[in-house]
A and B are shown apart, each in its own frame.
Chain A
Amino acid sequence: MKLGSFAAAAAVITLVFALLAFAQSEGDLRAHADTSALLVARAVAWTYAEEQAGDPDGRTQRLLEALPGELPAVKSALVLKGNKIVAHSAPDQAGRSLSQDSLSDKALYDSAQAVKASASKNVEERERDPSLKQDPYPEVEIASLPGGAVAASAPVRNDEDRVVGLARVEMAEPLPTLPYPALIVLIGLIAMAIFLFFARRSIAVPAGVVLLLFIAVADVWALSGFRFGLRRSVTLATAQNLGALARAGVLPPDVSRRPALIGALGRDAHGRMYPIELVDVRPVDRAMTRSATLALGAIPGGERFEAGDHEAWFVESSFEAAYDRDFSDLSRWAFLSGMVAIGLFVMGARGRIHAFWSAFTSNRTAYGYLAPAMVGMGILVFVPVVFGIVLGFTDRRYNVFEFAGLSNYVAILSDFDFTSTKNFYFKLGVTFLWTGANVMLHVGIGLFIALLLNDEMLRAKGIYRVLLVVPWAIPNYITALIWKGMFHKQFGAVNFFLDAVGLEPVAWFGSFWPAFMTNVATNTWLGFPFMMVVSLGALSSIPNDLYEAAFVDGASRWQRFKDITLPLLMPALVPAVIMGTVWTFNMFNIIYLVSGGAPDGATDILITDAFRWAFERDKYGYAAAYSTIIFLILLFFTLLTNKVTGATKGAFE
């Protein structure tokens, strides 16, 4: 009887693998755009450094003006020194100073400062530890711009290795023509859905087999064709990029330090060869090295460019070797799950379809009302969630997702080094502490204030109620930034108060407990009004007769609270507390913006750390596994509390 569900699950897995392959290709495209932009940014920085060392002959400006013509993907390029734009691809922009009032200028200045700061940090670290010389320029910065463009920044260095400026290049993403695999898979799934709803018992089996075969073949064909086409076009586009650079008169001499990554080979005036980094290819196998060697002689399918006394070859054939492995990984899984889907459908289709159909026709109105929301949620909530969970089983290397089994989960759960602030169990403890402290304070303060306000004879209680709701109404990112300011060591209001009563000022973000307290204080401030409002609503629905009867019977104040108020509050308070717990557990903004994890990530909770794994430490698969664990913890908590309290029991009736 459950076969149909299994089949549906298998179909979902197929879809997810297709999406994953799609994401992987997206990753390739982005990696390619990133690398091209970095390459150009480094080239520009290098040119300007040369110009500074020699005669100021304006060669950078000439290069920048020539770039958009040679490389249509370049939208703009500039060199910034101090707050002056010394060269720009648009000649009228060259020589002007940054304006205080322009937001894009401010962003540019900020990014220059950030690159400069990380560059000087790296210089210091290299001086301390010479073994880090492997990759001398890691402090390039890459930012995605909306619409698929990327901006790459690279520092300009003088002879003493000091940063004297910034080269920044904005490039549009190259858009090679692609078949649309996800589309094909979607068509397959839609066909399957149609089949489910309209097929009758008589035609079910043969039609089902045909349709499912179609899906499986479409999956495999789409995945393979897509990846192959992409590799080719990326290679060609990169070759063209580099060719354009060569024609514009620049070939950066130091772009690749990783001998395994051979995308193209260049030869300088003395006949020495050097590798030029193209696309991030995974460590290459022997076949690829051979094809690269072969390419030195007669370059099959490659291009050759000359510029002055430099020449460069671009080897397309080398990418085919890498491609073989990509194909095997994902498509095999897609194919397997497709096959499982077929088998299960054939076995389960006959009886299930009829049941499905009659359920659909007899409840058409209800499904109609539910469908629009479900479709929207399906695309924009469920698919990303399933996608995220699947990514937890992958590892992203060089921007390519690879199937990694349970290794992320093993890595997270088997690390028992509790002294590290990055440790999962440490974070779990902090998160429990954070959630417990907040929920207790929210409910305690909210309920207490509500009890005070629940007084028929109290005047002006409406005014209190209105004013006390204000913290809830203020956007929480604003609240967070304000409170961060209030806890500032030198200028914050909290330390002024301490000073006024004769206490020492506290460095709030210098150690764990003060930093933790700032987070809790902020979140309590914005969280108690919700509990207050819920309590007020529940209190007002308790009939007064009960209290009067209890009073006549001689019950004390505490007895009345314990025996009447509390039991009658529970039905409203328990769901609110469960919801509040889930929200607090996943409260990102406050932790991220108030303490920012200070000191040294200690006050980060699970959700903020998951974010850091994904976007700061660039381990997306690990982060996805991390958040799946968070999800499971919350799910377990909700199911457990539901079982114990029956909070949502009524809802399912």
Chain B
Amino acid sequence: MSGSVPSTATTSTKGERALKHAFLAAFTVAVLYPVAWVVKMALSPSQGFDASAIPIPTNPSLDNFRHVLFELPFGRWLLNSAIVSIAATALGVFLACTSAYALSRFRFPGRTAAMLSFLVTQMFPGVLMMIPLYIIMDYLHLLDQLLGLILVYSATAIPFCVWMLKGYFDTIPKELEEAALMDGASPALVFWKIMLPLSLPAVAVTALFSFMTAWNEYILAAQFMGEAHYTLPVGLKMMVGEFSSEWGHFAAGAILVSIPVVLLFFALQKNLVGGLTAGGVKG
């Protein structure tokens, strides 16, 4: 146990730890203060801002949650968001996996060009793709359809996913696959039975990011979708319009929208560190 050598980089004395705790606790409270503030707004029956900095509601009630859940089409928005995000994540991550596998394990003409093109699209300002995309989606008759959003979200998530996954695949030793190929396994079998199971942490993290991107996306959804196909961000944004704001309802909705993502983050906490950095450490 390294504790026998005091005061190396990853160990500490009692006094140091007390200091660290004091600082970290204060820092965490400061970081979580805005969250507490939203909880307070959600639990306060008024729709405006409260004239106090203390994040504890004076007379808490669940009215805002009741309004959001039962008097607005929240269930429909939730369903739309869930369908779009889950389908876009599944499709995007699957396509990214196969591409990353090809880029990591094969050498072929056009490989560098393909990787560069994935990288370069990350830099084009997304908002300016809106009008071309709108025209293309209209042409394909995919406007105001969940399928349209699914395709766009998965396509825009692919480049980042490919780079993350390719970095991770590179760290997996080739010997395993080579042995399997020697035994007569097909590349498809190697991909499904060896690569994917070994890279689950990275796949999980990429899936989390794709899911978050789709779950949080506002601009395209607002442009492409009609009232029947509103997703959560679009519905939520309607509550704080230009001329009439319902902050209490918004806060309640914001909490309901954030909970799934926060829970996913907590669940994948362990993978987050490994999945995110494995490629980077090597590359």
Contact between chains at A470 and B35 (CB < 8 Å) = yes
Contact between chains at B121 and A474 (CB < 8 Å) = no
Contact between chains at A103 and B277 (CB < 8 Å) = no
Cβ < 8 Å to A, chain B residues 160-174: 162-163, 166-167, 170
Give which listed residue, B72, B124, B274, contacts A627 with CB less than 8 A. B124
Whole-angstrom distance from the CB of A16 to the nearest CB of chain B?
10
Contact between chains at B131 and A620 (CB < 8 Å) = yes
Whole-angstrom distance from the CB of A636 to the nearest CB of chain B?
10
Contact between chains at A473 and B261 (CB < 8 Å) = yes
Whether a CB of chain A sits under 8 angstroms from the CB of B65 is no
Compute how far the CA of A107 lies from the CA of B227 in the bound complex, rounded to whole angstroms: 11
Contact between chains at A110 and B9 (CB < 8 Å) = no
Chain B interface extent, by class: 35 or more
> Digit string of A509-526 for contact with B (CB within 8 Å is 1, else 0)?
000000000000000010
Whether a CB of chain B sits under 8 angstroms from the CB of A329 is no
Contact between chains at A452 and B277 (CB < 8 Å) = no
Compute how far the CA of A145 lies from the CA of B225 in the bound complex, rounded to whole angstroms: 8
Residues of B within 8 A of A368 (CB): 102
Give which listed residue, B129, B241, B273, contacts A540 with CB less than 8 A. B273
Residues of A within 8 A of B243 (CB): 109-110, 113-114
Contact between chains at A586 and B125 (CB < 8 Å) = yes
Give which listed residue, A373, A379, A476, contacts B158 with CB less than 8 A. A373
Residues of B within 8 A of A382 (CB): 117, 121
Give which listed residue, B114, B162, B281, contacts A538 with CB less than 8 A. B281
Whether a CB of chain A sits under 8 angstroms from the CB of B122 is yes
B-contacting 9-mer, from A303-311, A416-424, A455-463: A455-463
Contact between chains at B138 and A26 (CB < 8 Å) = yes
Residues of B within 8 A of A145 (CB): 226
Residues of A within 8 A of B111 (CB): 366
Whole-angstrom distance from the CB of A137 to the nearest CB of chain B?
21
Contact between chains at A148 and B143 (CB < 8 Å) = yes
Contact between chains at A146 and B12 (CB < 8 Å) = no
Compute how far the CA of A576 lies from the CA of B128 in the bound complex, rounded to whole angstroms: 25
Residues of A within 8 A of B59 (CB): none
Cβ < 8 Å to B, chain A residues 459-495: 459-460, 464-479, 481-483, 485-486, 488, 490-493
Residues of B within 8 A of A147 (CB): 143-144, 226
Residue of A nearest to B53 (CB): A496
Compute how far the CA of A576 lies from the CA of B276 in the bound complex, rounded to whole angstroms: 9
Give which listed residue, A467, A544, A565, A650, contacts B282 with CB less than 8 A. A650
Contact between chains at A493 and B283 (CB < 8 Å) = no
Residues of B within 8 A of A146 (CB): 143-144, 224-226, 229
Give which listed residue, B127, B132, B247, contacts A607 with CB less than 8 A. B127
Give which listed residue, A369, A466, A541, contacts B269 with CB less than 8 A. A466
Contact between chains at B108 and A110 (CB < 8 Å) = no
Residue of B nearest to A565 (CB): B9
Chain A interface extent, by class: 35 or more
> Digit string of A613-653 for contact with B (CB within 8 Å is 1, else 0)?
01000001001100100110011001000000001111110
Give which listed residue, B9, B51, B132, contacts A564 with CB less than 8 A. B9
Contact between chains at B115 and A452 (CB < 8 Å) = no
Compute how far the CA of A478 lies from the CA of B128 in the bound complex, rounded to whole angstroms: 22
Whole-angstrom distance from the CB of A424 to the nearest CB of chain B?
14
B-contacting 9-mer, from A204-212, A255-263, A529-537: A529-537
Cβ < 8 Å to B, chain A residues 133-157: 144-148
Contact between chains at B258 and A473 (CB < 8 Å) = yes
Whether a CB of chain A sits under 8 angstroms from the CB of B75 is no
Contact between chains at A377 and B159 (CB < 8 Å) = yes
Give which listed residue, B99, B115, B216, contacts A475 with CB less than 8 A. B216
Contact between chains at A481 and B250 (CB < 8 Å) = yes
Contact between chains at B8 and A547 (CB < 8 Å) = yes
Contact between chains at B277 and A572 (CB < 8 Å) = yes
Residues of B within 8 A of A365 (CB): 102, 106, 187
Contact between chains at B9 and A380 (CB < 8 Å) = no
Cβ < 8 Å to B, chain A residues 145-195: 145-148, 182
Most buried by B among A23, A384, A536: A384
Residues of A within 8 A of B235 (CB): 103
Residues of B within 8 A of A370 (CB): 98-99, 102-103, 114
Residues of A within 8 A of B139 (CB): 22, 182
Contact between chains at A648 and B132 (CB < 8 Å) = no
Contact between chains at B115 and A373 (CB < 8 Å) = no
Whether a CB of chain A sits under 8 angstroms from the CB of B182 is no
Residues of A within 8 A of B17 (CB): 455, 457-459
Whether a CB of chain A sits under 8 angstroms from the CB of B60 is no
Contact between chains at B131 and A474 (CB < 8 Å) = no
Cβ < 8 Å to A, chain B residues 122-147: 122-133, 135-136, 138-139, 143-144
Residues of A within 8 A of B90 (CB): none
Whether a CB of chain B sits under 8 angstroms from the CB of A101 is yes
Contact between chains at B280 and A572 (CB < 8 Å) = yes
Give which listed residue, A381, A474, A490, A650, contacts B283 with CB less than 8 A. A650
Whether a CB of chain A sits under 8 angstroms from the CB of B262 is yes
Whether a CB of chain B sits under 8 angstroms from the CB of A571 is yes
Contact between chains at A624 and B276 (CB < 8 Å) = no
Whether a CB of chain A sits under 8 angstroms from the CB of B155 is yes
Given contacts A146-B224, A481-B240, A540-B273, contact A366 B265 (CB under 8 A): no
Compute how far the CA of A565 lies from the CA of B10 in the bound complex, rounded to whole angstroms: 11
Whether a CB of chain B sits under 8 angstroms from the CB of A127 is no
Compute how far the CA of A474 lies from the CA of B266 in the bound complex, rounded to whole angstroms: 12
Whether a CB of chain B sits under 8 angstroms from the CB of A198 is no
**Other A-B pairs beyond A147-B226, A474-B262, 8, CB < 8 Å:** A374-B99, A388-B129, A468-B28, A486-B34, A525-B31, A614-B130, A627-B127, A650-B283
10 contacts between A and B (CB under 8 A): A19-B135, A369-B98, A376-B95, A387-B135, A464-B28, A481-B254, A482-B37, A525-B34, A551-B5, A586-B123
Q: Report B's interface with A, CB cutoff 8 A.
A: 2-3, 5, 7-12, 17, 20-21, 23-24, 27-28, 31-35, 37-38, 48-53, 55, 71-73, 95-96, 98-99, 101-103, 106, 108-112, 114-115, 117-133, 135-136, 138-139, 143-144, 151-152, 154-156, 158-159, 162-163, 166-167, 170, 187, 191, 212, 215-216, 218-219, 223-227, 229, 233, 235-238, 240-244, 247, 250, 254, 257-258, 261-262, 264-266, 269, 272-274, 276-283
Q: Which 9 A-B pairs have the closest CB atoms?
A: A491-B49, A537-B277, A496-B53, A366-B106, A146-B226, A369-B102, A384-B132, A363-B108, A380-B155
